[in-house]
Structure 1
Amino acid sequence: MTFDMNDVEPQQAGDLIPDGTFAKVVMTLRKGGTDGTGDVDRGLLKSSNQPGSDVLMLDAEFTVAEGPFARRKFWQMFTVQGGKLDDAGQSIGWKISKSTFRAMIDSALGLNPEDMSEAAKARRVLRGLADLDGISFVAKIQVEPSRNPAYKDANKLDHVVLPTAPEWKRVMAGEAVPAQPTARSRPAATTAGQPTLPAWGQPQAAAPAAPAWGATSTAAPAPQSPPAARPGSGPAWLNP
């Protein structure tokens, strides 16, 4: 018996989404086996593999939802507990992550980030971090140079694109937005025994379909007064 490999598509080795690409992405959370602070986050978090570290992280997989890079994936960890503390004794990593999560919600729902009406504030309330699973928003994607020459560069989330940015409306309208690369110098290699796990070394799951709540309006963003979410019924995007 023979196997004819000529009709198989060539391997796309080392392909990265170009630095500075704007795209709608879907975030899927991968459980790490450590409980969060509430029942909804049971088994959700991942402990650091560094000896003596108290860091707990959210393990996120991002899938491009549409456009020329549809179904392409990248991965990122978000600190939600522990690590370096600020002067007030708060986790610096968690403060950064929390700001990113709020931006995801605003981008997903088309909320003006300056809208602090009671209705808008209610839509930013989560039962737990697990409510972010499946959220769809506009992202700018970067290429992060590897810290270890043994590993390849990887795609990461540069930042969440808010409804007040012109690129948000264009992406939501299905337009092609030119990439805006950010110049970065290659960081020094990590010490031996502490490599950064590359994106291509992580397990992959099937690309999730974009949820209905991800179909945000393409109208120019403005302060809104959306209906408040029903208490205890989950995040706003599950209550259209």
Structure 2
Amino acid sequence: MGTKADEAAVEKMAKASSARPRASATAKLLSHNLNGQRLGRKGRDTRDRILAATNDLLAGPPDIEISLSAVARQASLGMTSLYNYFNDLTELLVAVLEPVMATAEDEYISLLRSRWDDAVLGERTLAFVTAYHGFWIKHSRLLHLRNRMADAQNERMMLHRVGAAQPVMRLLVEQMDGDLSQSQSPLFSMATALMTGLERVVTVTTDMALQHILHTPNPLGRTHLLKAEARLLELGIRDYRNLAA
């Protein structure tokens, strides 16, 4: 996200994502399988069974592979049956992500919607960072898998990652008393940098394998990182408020 090329790519993906008829596509997916056959109760039950099997695998031991074949085995289905509902692993994981991201508003985004008073800005940023971290703890494996696939240039996962970050970045711009119509302004760059840092911090603090490699699997270390990120948010918001004053 740091270079002009990266920013252009993100903007292009975001526009493409917003232009897609997501609601109608979801409705079609839920009413028909990939062969165009209308889903009756049995078909919907089978699709739900596939999603439940995927969630069971995600909640299981971290060394268990997440793949279409593993999901089919978990759901006691043949691969042909699974392919009636999902073309590939990305499509399946996006379907699993949909209800998870639907909870983001209540979990952490809503905390940004009211302007934070200067006097309690540090408290509000820490509460927000803590809530965002808590969301990642709840859905750690799924979100880490999404980001790994996005880092491997999976375009649909890149779009999902950007789409999930955009509401936070826009609300951070508002917290900085910025103009949302000026998408190329320094405030948007600051919001992007703050969001990128926040995601990296929660990635590190919720990746237990990385914690063990670094020999720092202790809650105190994670707390210090979250407080440091909250402080950066506070300073970024406060700095741009002072410039706008």
**TM-score, reference length from structure 1:** 0.24
* Greater strand content: 1
**TM-score, reference length from structure 2:** 0.23
Highest RCO, 1 vs 2 (Cα 8 Å, sep ≥ 6)? 1
* Greater helix content: 2
